Chains A and B, each alone.
Chain A
């Protein structure tokens, strides 16, 4: 690990900002963690849903350097938001992000060929580069040897061998960053002469507009390979438009016409030329004496993607994850519940009676408690996801499941978010980040809350008890299963519908790397859990808290001190809303009391049970048994029973489809970085729930059921 090759480097300017770039699975995140420790900030790039991770690196002599962790990409072409962001940051075009003075390219030494492709693209941009040749331990174990000095010379870039998860090479990298690197780059690859000529022409046009040469070259290549990009009619949506004047655009278009005439090959000329050059560089600098037999990864894959064992392993992993989320998580969840209960009691004993006490105890503490209680499930889910990703199994799970998911237009990687949503849609939606395609990710987020989460269980349980009091556990489980199936079918249909209409994209290319299996790095997995749960608590927590307080206020005000709890609730804003809603929900078979329950459920579905206890005058801590008796004897004013079997079914179906969960709305807002999608999701799910419940009730009545 001691070889560092720095060809005649001398500091150009003092490095203030460093960007980390690299392919997915190259160990970039591990290196970022090693650099920044806990001095990290996670946010979003303005206007897009791409996550922005930055932090600080402390060099010798307490010098502090900004580190930006670019999204992991295979390329700098501008086809996905991730690539767009990486490119914009490197060119200094991203708002709120300083142009990096230096790029650390993280390269997987075991997969040099494809990893160096991105390096050649970054080199074009003319930014000083150092390569962190990562995972050198794997190369050293194999029969391969890399002549780092030669490689460095040929690429014109200093190379530091690293093993990021063992912290090897980090100090050496820091030294290179401290001293700075001179750009020492001559393009080693060439395309066909006619293409080179046209690219030259574009470069001349762009440099005349004041762009520097390397940037102009990089832009010219974009115009060559992505011709429809700068067509006039598309300009309005093209993020580049602010950099070009109209006449320049028409000149560029003229040259693009020539590329178009050259056909598809103009698109890939640069790609092929780069790979040809890389192949040559590798031939000169790498000796590969490894035997060509199946390696460990392939032997593992032979089992894990096997027709029989593959499924068994997959189902086993999923069952294990589910078990952990549902049962193991319930212990810390009960603990959190009782801690917040105690906290509420303690606060209640300290504070004088009145609105403030009520706000603190029932609004703030209950609201925050309602959020924090999901934390164990989130931690466990992200422990699993982190492990699956870090070992490389996640890609295999997507590989196995893709056929199934593609039937409804989803990606193989949509599977984990959908499955997790059975426990809770919040971690499910958060885990959709592993899906690269923004549209597939959005569809997954939109349909994930249709999977019946654990918060619906109490509602299903009480409704089933009212529906068939005499049924045995087996029959009750059957009804429960039907509700789960209704949700799954709904999710599939809606995913298919969105894919076919709203989010139609020209058939996106499904292409996914299957990285070699590796032992997970616990540090990386724990970092991942820490980061995800921190984000959840901080960002979603603030919104959920605010919403809880609003809901509390709706159910508390205006105050009617002389009335008992149930009457006061009826007179509150929430009660008035429930009463006002009655004409709307009467076709579903619901009265105003159920209306209040629906409004209360918006905080969280399980609140239905406690709200209904108050409505039926049973007090807050009613036993399920007494509530279901109260339900059974509840009547309409004309004496008809309220909770007929049809109403129970209709209500359950309503709960399957409706997005009655503030936390989910908040998380979708955070994940999509706009209010548009959570609002859309709320509305479509509300309409779906209403129509489905209406259909159940009205068709059921028409068929003669009660």
Chain B
């Protein structure tokens, strides 16, 4: 993973984007965009079109950590940064209620607060355990209580009660409802 990241960092971009054009990779998360053109070889472009990245399609870039998650035709699709470099779009600005707005860490929420899980911080490999317990993006969470000594936290998710340490909750980004 580190190697591909380095490659991307050092490789000069093959074609400079023209005015108003920006690669999906470089566009900020939480922005809406219209696809202008696809670059790269035919196979790549074909594959992107299959995934829904067609010219003039409207997409939303949700997250940008490690991989890029986009909303394409109502589906959430993950693509690598490398692929995203081949997609040139017109940035249509920030989406309202976008994923990257007003996100707080689950560990910073107070008792009784509710929210929708949006994202995980990318620096850890080990969070599938949490996701498997049903803490998935899009799910509703509620902070039920903190343990008497302040840690761990008890939350309600998918209709049951779950406790996790603050260290784990710090990896979960939530958009607060109340």
Contact = CB atoms under 8 A, between A and B. Distances in A.
Contact of A262 (B67, B137, B147): B67
B161 A513 contact: yes
Interface string B60-83: 000001111100000111111010
Contact of A74 (B66, B125, B132): B132
Given A194-B79, A272-B136, A402-B165, A310 B160 contact: no
A307 B148 contact: yes
Interface string B125-142: 111111111101111000
B20 interface: no
A275 B136 contact: yes
A264 interface: yes
A192 B82 contact: no
B80 A263 contact: yes
B12 interface: no
B57 interface: no
A406 interface: yes
Contact of B162 (A272, A301, A511): A511
Contacts, number: 162
Contacts of B69: 265
Contact of B160 (A111, A399, A507): A111
Interface in B158-177: 158-165, 167-168
B37 interface: no
A225 interface: yes
B51 interface: yes
A509 B127 contact: yes
Interface in A307-339: 307, 310-311
B132 A262 contact: no
Contacts of B65: 263-264
A268 B136 contact: yes
B6 interface: no
B14 to A, nearest CB: 18
Interface stretch (B25-33, B89-97, B102-110, B149-157): B149-157
A400 B148 contact: yes
A302 B144 CA distance: 10
Contact of B67 (A117, A266, A302, A306): A266
A114 B47 CA distance: 34
Contacts of B50: 193-194
A473 to B, nearest CB: 35
A266 B129 CA distance: 14
A586 B50 CA distance: 81
A402 B132 contact: no
Contact of B158 (A114, A269, A306): A114
Nearest to B151: A403
A399 B154 contact: yes
A113 B158 contact: yes
Contact of A264 (B75, B77, B120): B120
Most chain A beta carbons < 10 A, residue from B68, B120, B145: B145
Nearest to B126: A509
B1 interface: yes
A663 B171 CA distance: 44
A499 interface: no
A199 to B, nearest CB: 14
Interface string A249-278: 000000000001111111111011001000
Given A193-B50, A512-B162, A79 B129 contact: yes
Interface of A: 74-75, 77, 79, 111, 113-114, 117, 192-195, 225, 260-269, 271-272, 275, 297-298, 301-302, 305-307, 310-311, 395, 399-400, 402-404, 406, 412, 506-516
23 contacts: A192-B75, A193-B52, A194-B47, A194-B77, A261-B80, A262-B79, A262-B80, A263-B66, A263-B68, A264-B65, A264-B67, A271-B128, A275-B158, A305-B147, A402-B165, A403-B150, A404-B149, A406-B151, A509-B127, A509-B168, A510-B164, A510-B168, A513-B161
